[in-house]
Amino acid sequence: MEGTSDVSALKMLNHVLVKLDHFDGTNFSRWKDKMKFLLTLLKLFYVLDSNLMPLLTTTDEDIDEIKAQRKKKEEDKLICRGHILNTLSDHLYDLYTSMNSPKEIWNTLEAKYKTEKVGMNKLSIQKYFDYKMLDNILVLDHGHELQILVNELHDLSINIPESFQLGEIIAKLPPSWNNFRKKLLHMSEDLTLEQFEHHLQIEEES
């Protein structure tokens, strides 16, 4: 059973490593969540705990068990630092590789990019509300682009209700879709995004 568990954990770890893109200064919240999951999977996230007691110098009087615990913590800090640095872009790697403490790297990144997140929030919100649909581009393609913007906002902890998303798409439909817009506004049933996309596809094909 233990061997099977180790194999499953290794497969999951490989899957996470494949999906973990290099952090280049954008989408910090997404990178942080993935990094936290990876370090938790590796049982290394504890070394970033702000309440973790500092390691004391080993003395001759210490028993072997305490020495082993201290050695493991030092090794875990080294491995944790390596994993964080290895997920940074070359530019950011060069900036933070001089820091020996993984906790210092983690806290510095968080302090820097949490501050910039406020500006990113405003920019992403503006992009979403200023988005315009054009007649020479398929409406479904426009809808997918808007959904990408919604996902970006979600990564910034800004959740837009589905009903609001539907209303926003209807409001942004190009002039040639005015009749369809009126038809939608007078519908009595509430549509899901999936149902709405189906209506758009039928209308576009006709």
pLDDT tens per residue, the chain (206 residues)?
545 555 454 555 555 554 677 888 877 878 888 899 889 988 999 999 877 666 556 566 667 777 788 889 899 999 999 999 999 999 999 999 999 999 999 999 988 887 665 556 667 777 777 888 887 788 888 888 888 888 877 776 778 888 888 888 888 888 888 888 888 777 767 788 888 888 788 888 77
> Residue 32: inside a domain, yes or no?
yes
Are 18 and 104 found together in one domain?
Answer: yes
Are 93 and 157 found together in one domain?
Answer: no
Are 135 and 89 found together in one domain?
Answer: no
Are 58 and 159 found together in one domain?
Answer: no
To which residue do tokens 């954008």 refer? 26
Are 137 and 185 found together in one domain?
Answer: yes
Q: What angle do CA 187, 191, 193 make, to 5 degrees?
A: 140
> Residue 191: inside a domain, yes or no?
yes
Residue 143 CB burial class (10 angstroms; 0-12, 13-18, ≥19): buried
Are 94 and 8 found together in one domain?
Answer: yes
Are 79 and 39 found together in one domain?
Answer: yes
> Residue 104: inside a domain, yes or no?
yes
CA–CA dist 174, 186 (Å, integer): 18
**Domain coverage including residue 144:** 131-205
Are 77 and 112 found together in one domain?
Answer: yes
What global pTM score does this model have? 0.51
